Amino acid sequence: MALERQFDLPAHAIKLQHVRGATTGAGSDEEQLLANTKASLASLRALLQRVDDHWGREDAVYRHYHHSFKVYWIQSLTIEIVTALQQLMPDRPLCELFTSVVAAGTEKTFVPEHNQRWADTTRPMLEAFFHAHYFLEMVVKYGRILDAPPPVLPSGWAAVLTLFGLR
């Protein structure tokens, strides 16, 4: 199958991608990540489906705009996603930039004073969720379609590798 069709990339993007070869030998961390992703795919897909349902992303964004303290519940979904991602490579730390986004948007408890600075308080929660959600989507997507580390990196898989310090 042509890479353009396999990854839904325009033909010109293939020419711009970095072609790899030597870095993905037998037993590489990337192969282990892919194998762990495939082994966890059923639970990852179930988690993605749950966070995408009405009481996940849909309700959280509404609660943010409605100024409802229930937006704080999105933090538990974010932590659940981050935990599932970390379990894919438990011995590798997650990207520092990602963990700083998550830290800024979790472990918050509602106090009435937050109403005075609502956006400054709750936007980081949604940002952390959206970043975690993105990586969950990417591991599910590429866990489904990849059989081996690709010689041409699609952006989503490259992001996952970056999350685990493999790129």
Q: Is position 19 within any domain?
A: no
78-128 residue pLDDT tens:
999 999 999 999 999 999 999 999 999 999 999 999 999 999 999 999 999
The boundaries of the domain holding residue 145 are 35-163
Q: Is position 84 within any domain?
A: yes
Can you give the pTM of this predicted structure? 0.84
Q: Is position 52 within any domain?
A: yes
Q: Quick check: 41 pLDDT over 60? A: yes
Work out how many domains the chain is built from and give that number: 1
Listing DSSP states for the chain in one string gives: --HHHHTT--HHHHHHSPB--GGG-TT-HHHHHHHHHHHTHHHHHHHHHHHTSIIIIIHHHHHHHTT-GGGGGHHHHHHHHHHHHHTTSTTSPPPHHHHHHHHHTSS----GGGGGGHHHHHHHHHHHHHHHHHHHHHHHHHHHH-SS--SB--HHHHHHHHHTT--
Q: Is position 6 within any domain?
A: no
Q: Is position 128 within any domain?
A: yes
CA atoms within 13 A on the CB side of 100: 3
Q: Quick check: 16 pLDDT over 90? A: no
Q: Is position 108 within any domain?
A: yes
The per-residue pLDDT for 14 is 37
Q: Is position 17 within any domain?
A: no
